[in-house]
Chains A and B, each alone.
Chain A
């Protein structure tokens, strides 16, 4: 496989169930070795897209490739390139965690490393060594999810597809999953990550696509999507603050200062600057030197949540 090929590429992917069009011409490209956040409200078509990518469903029209290999040619032997974690993973309840990994590992006979070695490494990565010899029917949701990530890695894949991996987890479980995702990226494994927990995506994803009603309505790198406020700071001070606009405008590197907005005894001002790094120091100093009560000074980036809401809500809602 060529490493330079996108981990995933879709062109005009369409899927209809009778009169219902679940996917409507989805175009997608995911660079290799990155974390890709695949967002959308329930029913947007995320799981259908994943099913087509994994060969669990056939598209009505369009094509997709995984690491340059067309999915329709994605025969059993080629599936070793992809690891998959379902939204609500389920395993034979009588199997222990170690037996699940051993079973999956033996389905990849061509893997370069022995099954035992891969099993040990996967258990260590997801911190499941202590529970490895317990029947997985008694695992908690978080443990099942971690076992799911471990089994997805048993074939030494180039791409891992995770469908809502942290939707049923508590905050600690979610944090653990994000840590695992980062470590996968460090090992050069691409992660395609479907979720509607925007905070998680904001913390780990390099690329994001937002789906709505079977279409990609927004896509790009995380930086591209959240750079709406590049070069802009939000400064918050305690009211009253007579002359704060002039004080900020006089600070080095400031291009413009908006009119202040008062809320709950605070004044907020948007400040456009020429250099963000300089502004991090210059703006607080201007506030303090002017004897104003500084409450906050932070880059006024567009948040992913704002972009998501704007993308999925119909205009006029």
Chain B
């Protein structure tokens, strides 16, 4: 935990409060259970559709079938996780601001940067653990128990990308809570910016697929089946930069905002 001094006074205490609040949230537990259950359907369907069960305890499937299972896992976590992150983060700032809790906290020896950073960090941490790491570990354990030829390196890289996606989205939605005071426009803008480029591929601006953060789930899916390209590197880097810039802009605005 950070100290109470320096650039981010109070960050450690605020992060502790946010994490405690997240742990008490039924919404998050429900999301984690749903995500884990959905991920487990992937090896379950894969096992049910085997042409030949063989005699051993674990089965070897073709590379194509294994890729299908890997890509399905990454796409499920990527897209379903996006919706869950937006749903769990959408009121992170607006709810506390409406009830006066934000004003109460920032009159203490904490900075406004600490306040927003604690929000983004806690939502990132919780989303990574509950929506990526726990479901993926369970999914991997069950898949590896049923099938012999499950790769590890590509799953690891895809999971790292999915965690970056959770971090970007958490920071982005928290940042949207600064200029926007109501949950509905925050949700609409977050969903539109996140899903529009995927639904409507950038036909005219092909280079955008190399930088748009909303391509992270696609890149994670491709990475999970070893289909890497230049965008495997550029999209995560651009996403990290875009997330940091959006957050920095929100902090600058928040510093001058009346509470």
Binding site for B on A (CB under 8 A): 51, 54-58, 75-80, 82, 84, 86, 88-92, 94, 103-104, 106-110, 155
A51 touches B258 (CB 8 A): yes
**Given A77-B5, A109-B3; A92-B108 close (CB under 8 Å):** no
> Could you say which residues of chain B place their CB within 8 Å of the CB of A94?
21, 24
> Which residues 15-39 of B sit at the A interface, judged by CB distance below 8 A?
17, 21, 24
Task: Identify whether the interface residues of A are mostly helix, strand, loop, or mixed.
Answer: loop
Chain A: CB-nearest residue to B25: A94
B72 located at the interface, meaning its Cβ lies under 8 Å from any Cβ of chain A in the complex: no
**Partner-binding segment picked from B85-93, B98-106, B125-133, B142-150:** B98-106
Closest beta carbon of chain A to B150's beta carbon, Å: 41
Q: Which of B10, B21, B24, B101 contacts A107 (CB 8 A)?
A: B10
- A58 to B103 alpha-carbon distance, docked (Å): 14
- A77 to B108 alpha-carbon distance, docked (Å): 9
B256 located at the interface, meaning its Cβ lies under 8 Å from any Cβ of chain A in the complex: yes
**Given A76-B10, A86-B100, A92-B101; A108-B109 close (CB under 8 Å):** yes
A108 touches B108 (CB 8 A): yes
B13 located at the interface, meaning its Cβ lies under 8 Å from any Cβ of chain A in the complex: yes
- Beyond A56-B258, A109-B4, 14 additional contacts (C-beta under 8 Å) are A51-B258, A54-B107, A56-B106, A77-B9, A79-B108, A86-B104, A89-B100, A89-B104, A90-B101, A94-B21, A107-B10, A107-B110, A108-B108, A155-B108
A107 touches B109 (CB 8 A): yes
**Given A51-B258, A58-B258, A94-B24; A79-B101 close (CB under 8 Å):** no
Residue of A55, A80, A107, A109 with most partner-chain B CB within 10 A: A107
B259 located at the interface, meaning its Cβ lies under 8 Å from any Cβ of chain A in the complex: yes
> Could you say which residues of chain B place their CB within 8 Å of the CB of A106?
13
Q: Which of A57, A80, A103 contacts B258 (CB 8 A)?
A: A57
**Given A90-B99, A94-B24, A107-B10; A76-B111 close (CB under 8 Å):** yes
A103 touches B10 (CB 8 A): no
Binding site for A on B (CB under 8 A): 3-5, 9-10, 13, 17, 21, 24, 99-101, 103-104, 106-111, 114, 256, 258-259
Residue of A82, A92, A94, A108 with most partner-chain B CB within 10 A: A92
B103 touches A86 (CB 8 A): yes
- A55 to B108 alpha-carbon distance, docked (Å): 10
A90 touches B100 (CB 8 A): yes
B104 touches A90 (CB 8 A): yes
> Could you say which residues of chain A place their CB within 8 Å of the CB of B111?
75-76
Closest beta carbon of chain B to A211's beta carbon, Å: 19
Closest beta carbon of chain A to B32's beta carbon, Å: 19
Closest beta carbon of chain A to B187's beta carbon, Å: 22
Chain A: CB-nearest residue to B13: A106
B107 touches A82 (CB 8 A): yes
Q: Which of A56, A57, A76 contacts B109 (CB 8 A)?
A: A76
B17 touches A103 (CB 8 A): yes
> Could you say which residues of chain B place their CB within 8 Å of the CB of A54?
107
B13 touches A107 (CB 8 A): yes
CB-based closest 9 A-B pairs: A57-B258, A90-B99, A109-B4, A76-B9, A107-B108, A84-B107, A76-B109, A56-B259, A79-B109
> Could you say which residues of chain B place their CB within 8 Å of the CB of A55?
106-107
Closest beta carbon of chain B to A308's beta carbon, Å: 27
Chain B: CB-nearest residue to A15: B258
A56 touches B10 (CB 8 A): no
B107 touches A79 (CB 8 A): yes
> Could you say which residues of chain B place their CB within 8 Å of the CB of A51?
258-259
Chain A: CB-nearest residue to B108: A107
Chain A: CB-nearest residue to B12: A106
B110 touches A76 (CB 8 A): yes
> Could you say which residues of chain A place their CB within 8 Å of the CB of B104?
84, 86, 89-91
B109 touches A80 (CB 8 A): yes
